[in-house]
Structure 1
C-alpha cells in the first residue's frame, strides 16, 4: 500500500490499545479507504496502519475526529522514503526542556518579563529578531558566569539522544539550529551528538553581557536557508529532509521539509507543520519515520 497512518502515545498517558487501532481502521474505511492489519512498531506505544484509497490529509483528519480527545498522536503520510537523511532540530522547548534565555534571565530577576516576550515571539505575535534584541538588552551587565550556571540546569527532553543517535546510525546528517545562543547550542550539540550546531552569539566584554547580539541574527529565515543548503550539500531532495521545532521561528523550515513536525508546539507551529507530536516524546519522531523501538540507538 502507498500510504501509512501512525498512532503514537506517551506511556505516561496510558497504553495504545487494539480497540483504538480498530477505531482508526473503521474511520479509514468509512471515507473509502482500504486499510491493512496493524503493524506494531512498539507494543502499546506506536503502530502503523497501511492504507490506500484516500489522501493522507483526509485520512488523518478522519482518524483524529474518530479518536476524539484520546491522548494519541496521529500522522498520515506516503509510505515511500519515510526514513530521512537530514534533520534540523530547534533547541529550546524541543531538544531541551524550556527556554534557555528565560532561565538565564532568572539570574537578573527578570524571568517573568522576559518569558512573556518569549511566549509572544513563539506565538508569532511579535517579530523574533525584535524580541531577541529587546530581551538581550534587558540583560546588560549580567556576569557571563551565569551562562554556565544556566547550562548546569538544562535538561534534555526525553528521546533526544535516541532520536539523533538512531538517525546518525542510519546515515542521516544531524544539525541543531537555534535562535538561542551558541553558548548553549555548542554544549547541547556535544551532549546529544549532533554533527553541527548554530546559534546566536552574545556580545561579552570584560566578563559581562553588553546587552547586544552579534550579527547576523539566526532566525526563521536562517533555519530555512540552512535546511535548503544542507540538503544540497548532502545531495538530497527535500523529500529526504526532516525538521522539528515548536514555535513561529520554526514555521518556514517545518513547511519546507519533507517531514516537518511541531513538537508540543505553539498554535502557529501546530497549524503550519506537516505533522504534530502533542503527546509523545521525541522518540515519536522516529516512529513517524517507521523505526521500530528495537531499532533505536541509545
Structure 2
C-alpha cells in the first residue's frame, strides 16, 4: 500500500528537488546528522493504519491521520484517539506489520551513503517502537525515537505509554542527538512529510519536505518531489 502523498514529479512536471541547497558549513563539511520521519517518509505506509486494519478501524484511523498530517488536528490528541481504536488487537500484530512494511525506494542507499560520509542518521516517529526499532536496527540507524503501545494479557489496551513523539519531541530529539554526536545545528538535516515535522524542519541546518503535504512543502526550505530518498543527496 502507498499512502496518499504528493503526486510524482513526472505527473506534475516538477523537478526531483526544489528550493534551497546545502550552503556554508553544511556544504563545505557535509551533513553530520540527518533526522527523518518514518511513516510515509522512510517507509511507504502509515504503521498505525496497518494495525488498524486488524481492528476493523482502518478507514476511520486513516481519515484522522490525514487531518493530523495536514496540521488540522493536535497530533498528540489525534494519536490517542486513533490508538484507542486498536484496543483488543493481539500483540502478534507487530511481527505481522513488520513483514508488511515497505521501505521507500532509495532508503537503504541514502542511509549507506550518509554513513559513508561520516554522517549519523536518526529517525523520529509518531509510530511505534515495536515496529520502528527492529526496522531501524536492520538499517543501521543510529538514533531512534517512537511511541510505545501498552499491552496487557497479550493484547493492545488502546493506550500509549509515556511521552508522545509529537512536533516538540521531534525538535528535542534533533537538538539532543546533534549535541550527543558533537554536530553543530548548521550541519543537521531534517526530513519529513507531515505538519508534525515542521518544527524540526525549521530548526535544522537544512529542512526538507519529502513528497509532503502542501502545508509542509510551502514552509520547508527545500523539497523532494519523487518517492526516491536518494534525491535528498541532490540537495547536499
| TM-score normalised according to structure 2 size | 0.90
Is residue 150 of structure 2 the alignment partner of residue 211 of structure 1? no
**Cα deviations across residues 9-57 of structure 1 (Å, max 9, x unaligned)?**
x8x949xxxxxxxxxxxxxxxxxxxxxxxxxxxxxxxxxxxxxxxxxxx
In the aligned structure 2, how far is the partner of 1:165 from the partner of 1:157? Answer: 14
Which residue number in structure 2 is paired with residue 121 of structure 1?
A: 68
**Cα deviations across residues 219-254 of structure 1 (Å, max 9, x unaligned)?**
111110111112222222211001101001100000
Unaligned ranges ≥5, structure 1: 1-9, 15-68, 290-298
In the aligned structure 1, how far is the partner of 2:74 from the partner of 2:23? Answer: 37
Is residue 53 of structure 2 the alignment partner of residue 106 of structure 1? yes
Which residue number in structure 1 is paired with residue 129 of structure 2?
A: 182
**Cα deviations across residues 63-110 of structure 1 (Å, max 9, x unaligned)?**
xxxxxx523132333543222110111100000002010111001111
Aligned 8 A contact 1:161 1:193 in 2: no
Which residue number in structure 1 is paired with residue 190 of structure 2?
A: 243
Q: How many residues align?
A: 225
Aligned 8 A contact 2:211 2:223 in 1: yes
Larger CA deviation: 245-254 vs 235-244: 235-244
Which residue number in structure 2 is paired with residue 143 of structure 1?
A: 90
Superposition map of 1:1-298 within 5 A: 13=10, 70-72=13-15, 73-77=17-21, 79-80=23-24, 81-82=26-27, 83-279=30-226, 281-289=228-236
In the aligned structure 1, how far is the partner of 2:227 from the partner of 2:49? Answer: 24
**Cα deviations across residues 150-174 of structure 1 (Å, max 9, x unaligned)?**
1111000001001111111111111
Unaligned ranges ≥5, structure 2: 1-7
Q: Which has the higher contact order (CA 8 A, sep 6+)?
A: 2
Structure showing greater radius of gyration is 1
In the aligned structure 2, how far is the partner of 1:134 from the partner of 1:78? Answer: 39
SS of corresponding position for 2:176: helix
In the aligned structure 2, how far is the partner of 1:242 from the partner of 1:229? Answer: 14
| TM-score normalised according to structure 1 size | 0.72
In the aligned structure 2, how far is the partner of 1:226 from the partner of 1:71? Answer: 32
How many Å apart are 1:280 and its aligned residue?
Answer: 5.1
In the aligned structure 1, how far is the partner of 2:75 from the partner of 2:174? Answer: 19
SS of corresponding position for 1:77: coil
